[in-house]
Each structure stands twice: as structure tokens, then as C-alpha cells.
Amino acid sequence: MTRQFVFAGFGGQGMLLIGKFLAMACMLDGKHVSWLPSYGPEMRGGTANASVIVSDEPVASPLVDKADAVVAMNLPSLDKFEEHVKPGGVLVINSSIIDRKSTRDDIRVIYCDANKIAEEVGNPKGANVAILGSLMEAMPMCPDEKMAEAIKLELGERKAKFLPGNMKAYEAGKEAARA
């Protein structure tokens, strides 16, 4: 089993971070992973994306051309990566700030109101984790306990206080994908 993911948005929306969360969670679950960030020199406000590969076998190349799943947090990312989803794959769109629908009819599309979900759970900066929850509901890759452990590890001691809010956003994102 090999799954390829692209997380894309503006710098500062946390796409590289949720890519790390997924890679770490799957690594903790015993899988082989690759995480490859890509961003412009402007970082915050510029485009940023991360490619993640999860496999039962060692990953030969970190490059993703056709993804099993794409997360688009903003319209430029949707415009750029929508066609990169393999037929039968998953596209998760942040419907909080993207007002257009997918043009594809050969993939599963999830419209996640990520910013609203984050606000509702009291974690306004957790839109990225909410959309990660929606993705993991559509394409589970590891147990939720491994994701919680990965988020805790990646946040570190300094940001450990944000773990409960992030887990609330993650669970709410999963619930939204079920609805």
C-alpha cells in the first residue's frame, strides 16, 4: 500500500505542519514515509505545499505527481492541484474561503468549512487540523491515537498547551466529513 498526498495553501495556513503531522503519525504506526515541503521565499502569505508519501515499503522518491488525496486551503491551490488527484482519489476543499466547486466527477470531493469548524471548537488557528481530520475520515491512514501522539511530538513542550484544541479541531473535522 502506497498513498500520496499534497497539502497546499498560503504560507501561514499550516499546510507544511499538517503534512508533518500525517508523516509522523504514520511513521509512529510503523509505515515508511516521505515529507517534502515546497514554499516561496516569502513564506507567510506566499504559496506553500507539502508532499507526503506513506507506504508499507521504503519510499524511493519524495516527488508526487498524481496524488491519492489533495487538500486545498485556498483558491490558487485548488486551481493548481485539482488535476493532480488520481481518478478515484480524494479532494478536500476549504469551503470557508474557496467559493467554487470542483470540476471533477471522477473523484470524491469533501467541502470542509475548516475555518468555521476551528472557530466553533474554540481554536481559531486550528483550521488546518480540522481539514486534516476531514481528510483522515475520508482516507484513514493511522489510528487517531497515533495522530494525537504525532501532534504532541511535533508541537513540542513549548506548544503542548495547544494539543487539546488541536484534537478538538481534528475530531470536529472528522465529524464534518461524516455529515
pLDDT at res. 179: 85
pLDDT at res. 45: 63
**DSSP string of 76-90?**
HHHHHHGGGEEEEEE
pLDDT digits (tens, 9 = 90+) for 11-64: 889 999 999 999 999 999 999 999 999 976 655 667 799 999 999 999 999 999
- Cα(83)–Cα(111) distance, rounded to whole angstroms? 17
Q: Give me the percent of the chain exceeding a pLDDT of 90.
A: 87
pLDDT at res. 162: 84
For residue 124, the one-letter residue type is: P
List the helix and strand counts (H, then E) for the chain.
6, 6
pLDDT at res. 163: 86
Phi and psi angles of residue 158, each rounded to the nearest 5 degrees, phi first: -65, -35
Within its chain, how far is the Cα of 71 from the centroid?
6
27, 69, 98, 101 from 22: Cα distances, Å: 8, 12, 23, 26
122 DSSP assignment:
T
pLDDT digits (tens, 9 = 90+) for 70-110: 999 999 999 999 999 999 999 999 999 999 999 999 999 99
pLDDT digits (tens, 9 = 90+) for 109-150: 999 999 999 999 999 999 999 999 999 999 999 999 999 999
pLDDT at res. 50: 96
pLDDT at res. 41: 63
pLDDT digits (tens, 9 = 90+) for 143-178: 999 999 999 999 888 887 888 999 999 999 999 999
Looking at 3.20.20.70, 3.40.920.10, 3.40.50.300, 3.30.70.1400, the CATH number of the domain 2-178 comes to 3.40.920.10
Sketch the domain layout of the chain as residue ranges: 2-178
